[in-house]
Amino acid sequence: MSESYHSGFAALIGRPNAGKSTLMNQVLGQKIAIMSDKAQTTRNKIQGVYTTEDSQIVFIDTPGIHKPKHKLGDFMVRAALQTLNDVDIILYLIDASESYGPGEEYIIEKLKRTDTPVFLIVNKIDKVHPDELLKVIASYSERYDFAEVVPVSALNGNNVTTLLEELTKYLEEGPQFYPEDQVTDHPERFIVSELIREKALQLTREEVPHSLAVVIDEMKERENGAVYVAATIVVERPTQKGIIIGKQGSMLKEIGQRARADIESMLGSKVFVELWVKVEKDWRNSAYLLRENGYRE
């Protein structure tokens, strides 16, 4: 009998210099960190993936949530808010040695517009006196009802283990989104394939069994920032192919549209999705497809 696996997405937010990158480095330590040059260009970049035997947390950066220096496009602000709604947990990192200002006000206003639980992570406790720390916590707590308040020092690692333990308690049962032993420079590809697979399964229900794989044939960012995704849905029988395609392609179109909406909010970019369907008997024996779909032995 195997224990159930828990996983989820955490949005790491906070003003510049709050210590987000330092915290990520501390959390990931020797653990596999998935970073991608490519991902730097997308707006919600995956900062890292923390994997243990029974859980996995995917950390996402959400730049649109921070007080902008220049006017952000509506789309980016909406995408950021959408991300906050879509993740399982929001980690709001603050610098305990800095006073509360308009930057914080801006973020807290955004937090009030989402139901996602928010952790207040009070960073840089090595820099402040305990009395001062209590005052900082009190001033934030009266402005927002945080699910948890965790003081840490991202720099020296103090209390970071406690943070991870608390975080794990908030994860729901879910898959291991990334194989822990696989370093990839295209972390989004895996989630994108999962999203397409999820939509295909949701829309076709019992008609198409779970023996359905999605392979990302191409995923690239265009000059204008839009992301183009070409993917193939692999099924085992011709009848399943017919169901996935639907009348005059209507089902495939619907799958593509729903997946696109989710991928757009994940990446924070405009997305184009092009889908193909292929019958491949016994695809579950194909090492390539297994890897693409994140199956592990």
Distance between CA 244 and CA 203 in Å, rounded?
9
Check residue 154 for interaction with ligand GDP (CB under 6 A): yes
Strand stretches in 52-190, DSSP E: 55-61, 89-95, 118-123, 148-151, 172-173
Instruction: Please choose which of Mg ion, ligand GDP, K ion, none residue 8 contacts, taking the beta carbon within 5 to 8 angstroms, the exact cut-off set by kind.
Output: K ion
Q: Is 63 annotated to bind ligand?
A: yes
Q: Is 55 exposed, middle or buried (0-12, 13-18, 19+ CB in 10 A)?
A: buried
Q: Which is nearer to K ion, 174 or 179 (CB)?
A: 174
Q: Which is nearer to ligand GDP, 127 or 241 (CB)?
A: 127
Tokens for 169? 């308690």
Options 64-72, 111-119, 152-160, 259-267: segment touching ligand GDP (CB under 6 A): 152-160
Instruction: Please choose which of K ion, Mg ion, ligand GDP, none residue 256 contacts, taking the beta carbon within 5 to 8 angstroms, the exact cut-off set by kind.
Output: none
Residue 26: CB minimum distance to Mg ion, A: 13
Check residue 155 for interaction with ligand GDP (CB under 6 A): yes
Tokens for 72? 């952000």
Identify whether the C-beta of residue 56 lies closer than 8 Å to the C-beta of residue 177. yes
Q: Which is nearer to K ion, 174 or 242 (CB)?
A: 174
Beta bridge partners of 234: 213, 278
Contact with ligand GDP (CB under 6 A) among 7, 56, 83, 153: 153
Distance between CA 200 and CA 245 in Å, rounded?
10
Residue 56: CB minimum distance to ligand GDP, A: 22
Site for K ion in 148-187 (CB under 5 A): 174
Check residue 18 for interaction with ligand GDP (CB under 6 A): yes
Check residue 126 for interaction with ligand GDP (CB under 6 A): yes
Hey, CA dihedral for 234, 235, 238, 243, is it positive or negative? negative
Q: Which is nearer to ligand GDP, 63 or 117 (CB)?
A: 63
Beta bridge partners of 49: 58
Check residue 57 for interaction with K ion (CB under 5 A): no
Closest CA to 94 of 76, 67, 121: 121
Site for ligand GDP in 22-51 (CB under 6 A): 22
Q: Is 157 exposed, middle or buried (0-12, 13-18, 19+ CB in 10 A)?
A: middle
Tokens for 253? 């179109």
Contact with K ion (CB under 5 A) among 1, 3, 8, 296: 8
Q: Which is nearer to ligand GDP, 16 or 249 (CB)?
A: 16
Tokens for 235? 């099924």
Q: Which is nearer to ligand GDP, 151 or 187 (CB)?
A: 151
91-106 burial, b at 16+ Cβ within 10 Å, e below that, comes to: bbbbbbebeeeebbee
Identify whether the C-beta of residue 3 lies closer than 8 Å to the C-beta of residue 54. yes
Residue 243: CB minimum distance to K ion, A: 27
Q: Is 20 annotated to bind ligand?
A: yes
Known binding residues are: 14-21, 61-65, 123-126
**Which residues of the chain form contacts with ligand GDP (CB under 6 A)?**
14, 16-22, 123-124, 126-127, 153-155
Known binding residues for GTP are: 14-21, 61-65, 123-126
